[in-house]
Structures are given as C-alpha cells and as structure tokens.
Amino acid sequence: MEQRIGLIGLGNMGNAILQGILGSNVVPGTQIYVYDTHPEKGEDLNKSDGVNNLASARDVARESDIVFVAVKPNVIVDVLNDIQKELKKNTIVVSIAAGVTIKTIAKSIGYEQKIIRVMPNTPALVNAAMCSITPNTEVTDEELKIVQELLNCIGETEVVPEYLIDAVIGASGSSPAFVFMFIEALADGAVKGGLSRKQAYKFAAQAVMGSAKLLLETGKHPGELKDMVCSPAGTTIEGVHALEEKGFRAAIIDAVEATIKKSKSMAEN
Ligand SMILES: NC(=O)C1=CN([C@@H]2O[C@H](COP(=O)(O)OP(=O)(O)OC[C@H]3O[C@@H](n4cnc5c(N)ncnc54)[C@H](O)[C@@H]3O)[C@@H](O)[C@H]2O)C=CC1
Ligand SMILES: O=C(O)[C@@H]1CCC=N1
C-alpha cells in the first residue's frame, strides 16, 4: 500500500492498530507516523520498525494520507481542532472514539473532509477484532476498501450506517468486558468444583473461543448449537435452567441496552 499512515494516540487501541499493520506488512514502518502525548510509547517502535515517532499531532496529520485518531472521546475534539489546518483535501481521518459522531468530527475539521468512524474492540490486540466501519459521503468506495484492508490487519470488518454504531458498541465494542466477566465466573465455578485456577481459566476461555468459532464457521442458529449440548436428563440442561431462573439472558440484554444508552448520551453532548 502506498498511503502514508498516521496514528494519534498509542494506547490500547492505537497500539493494537499499529501492531496489526506492522505485523501484516501491508505498510512498512517507515511509512507510518505516530504521536502520543507520552512520547516514550513510540520510542521503541522507532528503533525496531522504522516507525516515525513525531513531536506533535499536527506533524502526523501533515505527513499522512490516512490518520487514525485513537484518543479518548473527551480529548478528540481538541486534537481534531489542532490538526485541522494540516489536513490535505484527500486526507482520510479515521476516528475510533465511542459516542463521537461524524457531525461532531466534521464541525472540527470541515464538512468536506473525508471521515470514517470505526468501532473496534480489544481483541484487536490478538488480531481478532470486530470493527464496524462508517464512512461519510466524501469517502469513495476505493478509499473505503483501503481503510478496510488496513483494519483487516487487526480482524474482521462490517460496514454499518452511523445510527447503528451504538448497537455495535453494545454487541462488540464493550462486550469483551462482559465476556471476560463470564469467563471469570465460569472459572470461579470450576474452582469451586476443585479445578486449579490456571486450568479453570484455560478450560473456560477455550470453551468460549471454541463456541464462537463453531457458531461462525457453521452458521447455525445459537439455539440449535445450545440444544446440541443439552443431552436429555443430562448435566447441561440443569445449568441452562439455573441460568434462566437467574435471568441470564435478560441481564445481558440489559447490559447491551445500558451500553447503547450511554453511547447515545455521549453523542448528544
Ligand atoms: N478500549 C476499548 O475497548 C475501546 C476503545 N475505543 C475507543 O478508542 C479510543 C482510545 O481508547 P483506548 O486506546 O482504550 O485509550 P487509552 O487511554 O489506552 O489510549 C489513549 C492514548 O491517547 C494518548 N493521548 C491522550 N491525549 C492525547 C493527545 N492530545 N494527543 C495524542 N495522544 C494523546 C494517551 O497518552 C494514550 O496513550 C477511545 O476514544 C475509545 O472510545 C473503541 C473501541 C474499544
Ligand atoms: O468503554 C468505552 O467507552 C470504550 C468504547 C467501547 C469499548 N470501550
């Protein structure tokens, strides 16, 4: 890929995107420009991968054709206002901030700028992210494909209209936290049954990963896959009953709904 890539913010997500791109060799390190207010985050990269660790967000914006802005939602507007003058007409600005709309971004950098909102998740750290992608009307199909190709370095992508990003946050942006709580609870139960903590995490995590893989690869309905586990008068149906009694599904739907509500309220502010 000939585009020069910028990354502003090298925290959990910025660093995951950077490592994914570097690992895939889609773009060489020398064609990547980064800035974080903690410059030490980019220093080692500079030495080992040739990544350009620059002195300001403005410098990154000036050098890049595609700029990923991976800072927290409460600072993104300041960063966008800061870099606005350095953007070229064709520079694509990619925001991964939760609850920050394309309109808010455009207000800072101009309504004619090419903008893409992406909602990734932390499995990006192991190249297993699920990312939604939403371009504004200035982005061409070819440009969208280029950004999709970059994001494929960290996982899977789906294009969605902007009004559905809140739901994506519930389903995949925030949900890794819920899944980790589930794995922790499964392991706690297994430890109660006598399994060592270390083995309990391995059994529980592998079961979650394997189940997700089974669903994705077979395309079967989750209910059908659940039924395949439940032998008549067996062990699993006892556990299913216990979960239903405790309102397991309703608790998860409530959690996703709470996430969506918060995301919408952030967008309104
Ligand atoms: N953590 C997650 O699971 C997900 C986060 N996001 C979004 O990703 C964005 C970043 O989140 P994280 O990586 O988790 O946060 P983080 O706190 O790990 O990283 C933010 C980074 O930005 C740097 N930074 C702060 N102000 C800056 C500035 N003015 N210029 C340059 N760098 C600056 C910080 O030093 C830090 O390294 C947020 O907007 C969040 O909504 C989206 C999906 C999932
Ligand atoms: O909690 C948050 O706001 C971010 C967005 C999605 C996951 N983490």
**220-259 pLDDT per residue, tens:** 999 999 999 999 999 999 999 999 999 999 999 999 999 9
Q: Using a 6 Å CB cutoff, which residues line ligand 1?
A: 8-14, 35-38, 41, 57, 70-73, 75, 79, 96-98, 119-122, 173
**122-135 pLDDT per residue, tens:** 999 999 999 999 99
- Of the ligands numbered here, which is closest to the C-alpha atom of 117? 1
- Tell me: pLDDT of 269 over 90: no
* Angle, in degrees to the nearest 10, between helices 248-268 and 236-245: 50
Binding-site residues for NADP(+) sit at 8-13, 70-73
The answer to whether the CB of 168 is under 6 A from ligand 2 is no
**174 C-alpha vs ligand 2 centroid, how far in Å?**
5
* CATH (one of 3.20.20.70, 1.10.3730.10, 3.30.1180.20, 1.10.10.10) for 173-268: 1.10.3730.10
Q: What is the pLDDT of residue 177?
A: 98
Protein residue closest via CA to atom 7 of ligand 2: 174
Protein residue closest via CA to atom 38 of ligand 1: 72
Binding-site residues sit at 8-13, 70-73
Q: What is the pLDDT of residue 107?
A: 96
> What mean pLDDT value characterizes the chain?
96
Average pLDDT of the segment spanning 168-194: 98
ipTM over 0.95: yes
**52-87 pLDDT per residue, tens:** 999 999 999 999 999 999 999 999 999 999 999 999
Protein residue closest via CA to atom 14 of ligand 1: 12
The answer to whether the CB of 169 is under 6 A from ligand 2 is yes
Which residue would you say has higher pLDDT here, 148 or 25?
Answer: 148
5-160 classified as CATH 1.10.3720.10: no
**16 C-alpha vs ligand 1 centroid, how far in Å?**
11
Domain boundaries, the chain: 5-160, 173-268
Average pLDDT of the segment spanning 189-208: 98
- Tell me: pLDDT of 217 over 90: yes
